[in-house]
Structure 1
């Protein structure tokens, strides 16, 4: 299970699977923290809007919160922006933008982004197919703790 999926499960559990006042309070708490520059709160708001938990599902707001968190230096948000553009999830598919965000996240230490760069190079999505570069990124991801790459 990915870190993103675990975070969404945690947020959903914290919301109590409801859209009532408790869910609204959590959203409000995240918004207050985000207004003070808390990048984790920005990231959590992005996940709330992505999953539609306690709020109406909204890909545009989700992307905007990922962008704000990325601008605040959140590597996980950078990686998630890469994933949005890689898959065309709520945005027009754009491998060049996916690569840009994955590279920023990898430079910030994200093992998932390193893995995702390996996938881009392995498949030749938006880049020239390059197994050597792919293997290099997979090795970096494993060294940085990306568990799916252990033993690669």
Structure 2
């Protein structure tokens, strides 16, 4: 689904005479049925349904994957003012979903979403300003966008704002501010924020708390991030961190952790 679309589901659920939980459950248990309901409403001009149906088409969830048709429905929804659809058009342009890659057009749609107050639009536009893709490279503007999104409760942006404060990018280095932003990001559910928070907790000697957040992060981290995390934890002086590294390896390689490996991780200093 969209990034952060529980509210979107809820809005459409009301129009479909279902409550939030019922429609969300329908999407999970019978996405094909949900897709049929959404398609009918989309064809009758419901912008929320158009955007949600587009996401199902993009993902191939309950329907045959069709990124060109996803683009079509996102466009219809965006042009009638659906803010998340604007953001998703930006994603389609940036990654070539259903159309040719066009970073400059992606920036246009992200900016429109951001100007309408959408945190994800701010976050995605900020990313482009960091890299200078399709827009001028401007890390100061990127920080301002991340900060706006963070102030709206966007967990990923909170973690990046924390990084700015930790590294002294565009703002004075401030370890306490970094700690606070990482904590907010971690509690907001972002796996990168959780790892950054765990790192600062470990630096403060709060190993048990750090282990808790690392384990939580691993549950939602993308594989490439988890594997890199395992490489870092594997050489830690903390036995519990090395144990987590082995567990990640087991999860992402499918190989069982041997008792001897676990014993070594727990008792052999890095």
Q: What TM-score, normalized to structure 1?
A: 0.83
Q: What do the CA deviations read for 1:21-74 (whole angstroms, capped 9, x no partner)?
A: xx2x43332123223332110011101111112221101001101111111211
| 2:11 counterpart of 1:3 | no
SS of the residue aligned with 1:150?
Answer: helix
Corresponding residue for residue 132 of structure 2: 124
Match of 2:203 in 1: none
TM superposition shift of 1:136:
1.2
Gaps of 5+ in 2: 10-22, 162-270
Contact 1:11/1:48, CA 8 A, preserved across alignment: no
The question of 1:14 aligning with 2:27 is answered yes
Indicate the structure whose relative CO is greater, using CA pairs within 8 Å and at least 6 residues apart.
Answer: 1
**Cα distance change on mapping 1:150 and 1:69 into 2, 3 Å:** same
Within a 5 Å distance, the mapping from 1:1-152 to structure 2 comes to: 2-3=3-4, 14=27, 16=29, 23=32, 25-150=33-158, 152=161
TM-score (norm 2): 0.49
d(CA) in 1 for partners of 2:52, 2:24: 8
Q: What CA RMSD, in Å, does the superposition of the two structures yield over aligned residues?
A: 2.6
Where do 4+ consecutive residues of structure 1 move more than 6 Å? Answer: none
Cα distance, 1:47–1:12 mapped onto 2, change above 3 Å: farther
Q: State the shift of 1:17 in Å.
A: 5.5
* Deviation digits for residues 53-97 of structure 1 (CA, Å, limit 9, x no counterpart): 222110100110111111121111100110111122332111111
SS in structure 2 opposite 1:109?
coil
Greater alpha carbon shift after TM alignment, 135-144 vs 109-118 = 135-144
Q: Computing the radius of gyration over CA atoms, which structure comes out larger, 1 or 2? A: 2
Unaligned runs of 5+ in 1: none
Aligned residues: 145
Q: 2-side partners of 1:65 and 1:2: how far apart? A: 17
CA distance in 1, matches of 2:140, 2:28: 44
